[in-house]
Structure formats: structure tokens, C-alpha cells
Chain A
Amino acid sequence: MSEPLERLSTDLGERSSYDAASQCCRCGYCEQACPTYAATGSESRSARGRNQLVRLLMEGRLTQPSSSQDALETCLLCGACTTACYARVPTADIVLEGRRLLGQPRKLSRFLTRLMNDHRGLFMVLLKAAYLAKRLGLSLLARPFLRIVGLPGLAVADAHVRQTPWVFLREKLARRPLAADPRWLYFAPCGPDLLFPRVGEATVSVLETLHGPGNFMSNDCCGLLAYNYGDVEDARALARRNIARFEAAGAMGPVVGDCSSCVAFLKSYPQLFLEDPAWKARAERFVAAVQDVPEILAQADLSAVKDLGPAVCHDSCRACHGQGLKEQGQEAMKKLAGSSYRRLPESDVCCGGAGAFAFRQPTLSDDIIRRKVGRIASTGAAVVAASSTSCLLQLAEGLRKYYPECRVVHLSELAAQSLAPERQGQGA
């Protein structure tokens, strides 16, 4: 079983996980912010309910602890509840502690983490083989098999992933000449790397235009996969490696990633080292440099992209709730869309992508994306921008099903078009 973190870094200071869960006074002010409560009306699928259940788990007051699995598994970890909470109770972290207590099955995620980071060459070959199989239509045949062997999530994931690049982002970036005096470092999250290289390329070109020369960090996975679905210790090991890389790179400017989930996790590195002052201090220095794309763009001088059509910005949860970047995405979008900007109602509500959530909870995820697509459609948008990989996947799938008149892009892609319109295509 994965060891729990035991101690969390909360808005009220460092607390034991138990104290953090007990800080929920059940006022219920989070209820309407919770997308799964809004979709189901079920108290155990609300943030308040989940905090109560983790507390009961910790107190050993559930005779059938596994009965809380549904409550904990259905949490999107979007953090909207924490934004709504006066005491900023960190429900997402508490839910993860609960999942660790329950001993969630984590073989697949451990395997992937190891493969991805310790045997990256092999991993990339395997993934390309899988992509080839997918293009040949073989994965369609594999879906029933995946369901039978207990990996229905992979079957859904296969259905959702429609883009399978031949050349991964890090292969492309490896060809870039190294800058001697880098003004920024690019942290390549797994999504842009393995699914959306065009996003990573756009981000790098934006950074070059805005800040001058910079380098790809040749980073490992941020560790979020391990933190959410596997072992905290694996996440910690990856964090150490990334921090050490950052220190060795000696850059003067920001470390920028272009998946908000990933960047939010980078920003939470110090929480992994609450018992280890030396690494905590190193993590804090690292975090001081980390920035997400919406932050960079909100401050940048950008002109409107031509012929965009009505455009809205979906605030990826891990940007607005995870990092407190409440208005940055919208500010960036106002500049990028100019007069065709529309304010998306409920822009800060999760789309239901949430990492592997869309694959593990397909029905609930569909309820949530339908509401999101409804809000997008209400603005008449032709383009919706987001800043997280799973939002890109989820929105693409939702729009394809329910509102195909609209396409989804990453904010970086629009920014790249705005800054160098002649170089960029129209995106997906």
C-alpha cells in the first residue's frame, strides 16, 4: 500500500492530514462548487461528504471502509471546493490521502511511471507501436480485450485519444541548439510531449518571442501520475530529479510548463518534503521560478488573432483552483480574441477530464462535459481555449459529440499565432 503523506501544506499552515480533514466544519458552502455533487445530488459525492468520509476512515469509524471507494474515486480533484471554502480545506489532497488509506490498486500507474522515467527509450518505442496499432484500427479490436482484463479505462482512453504523433515533442526539442544564457526553461509535460507536440512547440516559440533564448529542461515526468494514482515515494523521487535538473540548468528566468495540472503539481513540490527541510528549501526555490502559460500570457503584450470567430476560455481547474490563477486565463484570452472574446459562464468549473477521470468514470464524466459544452454553446463560441492536457482531450471529445461547430486549442497555440501569425497554422 502506498504510504500516505501524513502531513499537508494547507492555507492555514502545515497540518496533519487528519487535522486538515477535521477542519471541514460541514457548512456545505462547497456543495454547489462541486461538479460531481451538481451532477448527482449525492452527498457522498460532494466535497463536504468526502472530507467527512476520509475523517471517518482515519478514525476507523467505517466498518466497511471500501464502501467509501465510490466517494473517493469519483472526486475530480479539481479543487473548486477549496476555492469556495473559507478555511480552504484542501479536499483534493485529503481525498488522495483517503485513497492511499484504502490501498487503491496502482500496478498500472507504477508500471507506467517506471517505464516512462527509467526506461524512456523503450517506453517511446512501445507507445509508437501502440499508436501504429491505433492508426491501423487494431486498438478498436483490443478494446473488448482491455475491458475483459479489467482495464476498461484504457479502452475509453483509446476512444478519446484521436491524435497520435509520430515524433514526440522531446525528440523535436532535442534538436534545438542549446542557449548558453537561457532566459527561461521549458518543462515538457507528458501531454504535450506524447499527445500534443504542437502545443509544446507553440509554447516554446511564444517563450522565445517574449523572453529571448531558453532551453528545454529535459525533465522527467512531474510525478503527478504517481502522486494521484501510484506511490508518493515515486512522486518524490521524480520531484528530486526535476529540482536537481533545474538547479543544474542555472537559468535566470522562469520554468514554464504548458499543462496546468502538471504545473500545479510542480508548484506543490514543497508539500512532498515537509519532513525533509533541506529538500523542502530546494523545492521552494524551484517553485518560485515555476510559471504556467496563463500567467505568462496575462502579462504579455499580445494582439488579437485574426479571423478567430467567437472565442472563449475554459479555466483549467489546476490553473484557477490549483494555482489560484483565477483571471489570468481570461485576461490572456481577452487579448488573444480581441472583440470576438466571450465570457464563458462557469468557466472555472471542471470539464470532467481530470486526468484519468474521464477514462475511469466515463458516465459521470459525460454528465459533466455535457453541462460544460452546454455553457460553451450558449456563447456561440467557435473556439475554446484551455491550458491542461486532459481538458484538451475532454473538450475535444465533448465538442465532437455535442457541439462539433467548435474546436479546442491550447492558449499557447493562440498566443503563437498572435505573435508570429505567418509561422503558425490554425491548430487542430
Chain B
Amino acid sequence: MIKARVTVTLKNGVLDPQGKAIEGALGTLGFSGVGHVRQGKVFDLELNSADRAKAEADLKAMCEKLLANTVIENYAVEIA
């Protein structure tokens, strides 16, 4: 079995009002000097396969087809 982690983040230049709100809340809590908070998503997956190359190709296809919206999001695939 292969364990993988997919990280989906907003592309540069895409406004992130949620990140901004989190940034503001951190300031309210007294954490000064926090700038540019961007919110993203993490997916942990288990694949029934031993073929790492195929797993990586499959994971990229999953990102392209569903996990990320590539109009606004980048993705990164990590295989444990």
C-alpha cells in the first residue's frame, strides 16, 4: 500500500478572503507581524498499489480531475 498526501493551495494573485480573515484573527489574538496567510487543503490517501510511478501519475490525474480546481489552485503530491 502506498500512502500519499496531496496539498492544494491557491495560486498567487487569487484573492483569499478566508486567509485574510484568519490573518486578522491572528492579529486579534496578539500574534503581531503575521502577513499573507493563505488557506489551503490537505488530502491523505491510501492507494492499493506497490507501483510508485503509477501511483504518482494516478494522483496527478486525480488532482487535475477533481481534487484541485486548476483555474485557481496549485497542487503538490507527496508519496510517503
Partners in one complex: no
| Chain A residues near B (Cβ < 8 Å) | none
| Chain B residues near A (Cβ < 8 Å) | none
